[in-house]
Amino acid sequence: MIMKAQKRKLPPEDVEVSDRGSPFWESQRQFVFSVSLNKYQRGQELPEPSLRRSVLIANTLRQVSLEGCMAPPEDREVSQPPCSSSSAVQEGFFTAAAIHHSSVMFANSHSALASCPLLSLNYLSNCATSRSPASCHSNVPQSVKDEDEDWGSMSMDPDFSLSAAISSILTALDSTIDGSPQAAQRTPLRSLENLSGPSEGGVAWVKQGVRGYGGNWEPQDECRVRESSMEAMRSSYLTDLTVEDLFQDIDTSLLERDMGVLGLRGSGGGYPAGDDLLRPSSSSSPSFSAPPFSSQNHMREGLELEHLMEILVES
């Protein structure tokens, strides 16, 4: 039942840990998170998942993710090594992206009459925006915090309408490419595809951020990452993305790196992801009018992403 690529983490004791301050609480939380995610995905891959089971697992997943957001800031700053805070980031990605993907898989395998318990990711995005600045701040990997002081002031601005900015960018992108806002039969290009590759995701997302913030390369807060991906996912439910793509080694050190190195050129600029993005694809020319319930087509995803990158670069 545990995914092959993921090392199973057992909590030190198989007991219920209700005390959040307990050192076992976080490990158990992560264990429950991974098991829940696994179950949710596998359940959605079934032709007709049990609705009660899906709802219970989805609620648990949401709760566990939420509690991960709301962990006491002191604990994180003081005792948590950088890798675990980045794991929270990964969890955010995985939760939203994988659940989204699973929902899509579910939708793809059913007619319109079938129910589709898509997760509402409001909890996660609300968590990202409503969380106290201190805890936001604490989620950033230590190295980034040290490098950039201006970041802190940005993250603490409560009026910063991040979600609105991201949404407008995505909408603009959508309309640029397929000429219409989110219609029922949407073309496959979605912001989620920006996360399709291990490093592609990071780079593409950062580039989007750049467009919105006028070239400010400050590394973004993890909760913004999460929220922007939430926004994207909530608005895009038709994609051929596979879970494997998402679970490839997303290297959160991308976010820690000095973004100035990446530059806006996008033609490689020393960053390996650029090569991946611009790697010529062997299949036919990209098509943006794929039917919504088409079967998975990784090649098409790669082509569309490449096309997107070309557009971003040209603009």
- Output the DSSP codes for 226-286: HHHHHHHHHH-------HHHHHS---THHHHS-GGGTTTT-S-TT-HHHHHHHSPPSSS--
Least distance in angstroms from the C-beta of 228 to other proteins? 18
Neighbouring C-beta atoms of residue 293, cutoff 10 Å: 14
CB 94 within 8 Å of CB 224: no
Least distance in angstroms from the C-beta of 277 to other proteins? 31
Per-residue burial over 229-267, b if 16 or more Cβ lie within 10 Å, else e, is bbbbbbbbbbbbbbbebbbeebbbebbbbebeebeeebe
Residue with Cβ nearer other proteins (235 or 297): 235
Is residue 146 close enough to count as binding other proteins by CB under 8 A?
Answer: no
Residues in the chain: 315
Residue with Cβ nearer other proteins (103 or 228): 103
Is residue 110 close enough to count as binding other proteins by CB under 8 A?
Answer: yes
Is residue 184 close enough to count as binding other proteins by CB under 8 A?
Answer: no
Contact range with other proteins by CB under 8 A, out of 73-81, 114-122, 162-170, 259-267: 114-122
Question: Which of 50, 79, 283, 294 is the binder for other proteins (CB under 8 A)?
Answer: 50
Least distance in angstroms from the C-beta of 115 to other proteins? 6
Question: Which of 32, 134, 210, 278 is the binder for other proteins (CB under 8 A)?
Answer: 32
Residue with Cβ nearer other proteins (117 or 302): 117
Q: Give the C-alpha separation, 64 to 58, whole Å.
A: 10
CB 176 within 8 Å of CB 184: no
Least distance in angstroms from the C-beta of 70 to other proteins? 13
Closest CA to 68 of 152, 116, 124: 124
Is residue 192 close enough to count as binding other proteins by CB under 8 A?
Answer: no
Considering Cα of 53, then 108, then 249, then 308, what sign does the dihedral take? negative
Is residue 262 close enough to count as binding other proteins by CB under 8 A?
Answer: no
Exposed, middle or buried by CB within 10 Å (0-12, 13-18, 19+), for 303? buried
Closest CA to 106 of 289, 4, 239: 239
Residue with Cβ nearer other proteins (123 or 271): 123
Residue with Cβ nearer other proteins (111 or 289): 111
Binding mask 212-241 for other proteins (x = CB under 8 A): ----------------------x-------
Is residue 29 close enough to count as binding other proteins by CB under 8 A?
Answer: yes
Is residue 7 close enough to count as binding other proteins by CB under 8 A?
Answer: no
The binding site for other proteins (CB under 8 A) comprises 1, 11, 14-18, 28-29, 31-32, 35, 39, 47-48, 50-53, 55-56, 58-60, 63-64, 67, 109-111, 113-120, 234
